[in-house]
Structure 1
């Protein structure tokens, strides 16, 4: 498919630190280069699941499931060469502190160092327990937290508290959103990253929350947004990244996409409409080069 060829032209513009087989990455960006990361490839080996592969590359389950919707999660074909989409268009929200974009199940952290960003996959609230949109601040940080279970959930768990340890769904770290009952925390179920699984809180892989917790200060702003269509540019090329409407907030996605095209910050005349609407149909979360006259 053409979008795979376009994706293959990316290279990783980053500082990367390998932690075992897991990657913690800091990317550079500027006002004219707002598409970060790059493509890599992975050949499936015996015994691997898509969940294993996603975590190995610092991705959530959804990142691979959207690209390979018909692949068996538990038994991907051994020897199959997979495209690993480790690149993203930055959300349009102010690039400060933490930005969480619900449709892509992904968190962006803009540190105090200008022009750098880290990004992490997350698990978010399930239907009926949606993670709330809005502007917040980190009000409290705790290690090895005890979970004081809300009364509405005590019947499900058969108790009122869960102490620190392997059974605690908060994991080893939590950063509370001030004025709310929600938090950004680890997990004892890594397979839930990249899924709608929580009661509204935001879950990260244990290795990711460890890294993020060490950098985020009390008072850090947190912006939770709903942006299924993102526009970006890199080296003069225009990219669009489209995600499913996970919380079913948009009644007419085609109409929403038309409005998003009309509001393209780089001008509609520079956008190849056929490629744009192909990206809209796929909704696979992969940045798509939609520049008119793609081959310069």
Structure 2
């Protein structure tokens, strides 16, 4: 007697077939997927920060000091712990476009700026000769409304007016946040805040 094909079995089989590509993608160990559409071809999306795992500062820093900031490139999230031992914030972020542009390790915040001026690096202008030599702060400036400069030249934690970039591989090395998030973080972060790019 042949097995009976039921509606339920058919639906389960179809669901399994449709889910297979997603399961395979989820098992990938690559930190930077190669199948993301270019930013210019995508619409702005909202990221649900509740999907990120909370981290502990003790896993990354020896002491809190005036505060600690962890930029996790793999999960595309920024974690901040205040020097008071109670403040904790978690924000979705953009990450560098490639591993070549990603600098990892420990640094600290050495300067902060409101409505920062942007000066593209020589490498950025080589990749895109249409970039200006500099741009004053304001709408359209890639650094958004706030910037926190690190000991590493040309690497920053900053805002962005282009909300499509958050949660994506979209920067030339910096860590980007929604403007409203970077404005909140900017008020908490002090000069000397420890930073780890992981």
Whether TM exceeds 0.5 here: the answer is yes
Q: Secondary structure at the match of 1:139?
A: strand
Q: Which has the higher contact order (CA 8 A, sep 6+)?
A: 2
- 2:83 paired residue number: 112
2:180 aligned with 1:213: no
- 1:93 paired residue number: 60
In structure 1, what is the Cα distance between the partners aligned to 2:102 and 2:52?
A: 24
Q: Pick the structure with more strand per residue.
A: 1
Q: Secondary structure at the match of 1:204?
A: strand
2:45 aligned with 1:51: yes
2:158 aligned with 1:191: no
Structure 1: 5+ residue runs without aligned partners? 1-48, 60-84, 226-296
Question: Would the aligned equivalents of 1:129 and 1:198 in 2 still touch at CA under 8 Å?
Answer: no
In structure 2, what is the Cα distance between the partners aligned to 1:170 and 1:129?
A: 21
In structure 2, what is the Cα distance between the partners aligned to 1:115 and 1:140?
A: 24
Alignment CA distance shift 1:158-1:88 (3 Å)? closer
The structural deviation recorded for 1:153 is 2.3
- 1:70 paired residue number: none
Offset from partner CA, 1:142-200 (integer Å, 9 cap, x none): 11111111122225234211221211100011000014210000002111111110000
- 1:170 paired residue number: 143
The structural deviation recorded for 1:90 is 1.1
Alignment CA distance shift 1:179-1:127 (3 Å)? closer
The structural deviation recorded for 1:128 is 5.2
Alignment CA distance shift 1:168-1:105 (3 Å)? same
State the TM-score, normalizing by the size of structure 1: 0.46
Alignment CA distance shift 1:130-1:154 (3 Å)? closer
Question: Would the aligned equivalents of 2:124 and 2:172 in 1 still touch at CA under 8 Å?
Answer: no
Alignment CA distance shift 1:204-1:50 (3 Å)? closer
RMSD: 2.0
The structural deviation recorded for 1:86 is 3.9
The structural deviation recorded for 1:130 is 2.8
Q: Which runs of at least 4 in structure 1 moved beyond 3 Å after TM superposition?
A: none
Structure 2: 5+ residue runs without aligned partners? 1-42
Q: Secondary structure at the match of 2:113?
A: strand
Question: Would the aligned equivalents of 2:121 and 2:154 in 1 still touch at CA under 8 Å?
Answer: no
- 1:153 paired residue number: 124
- More displaced 10-residue stretch of structure 1: 192-201 or 129-138: 129-138
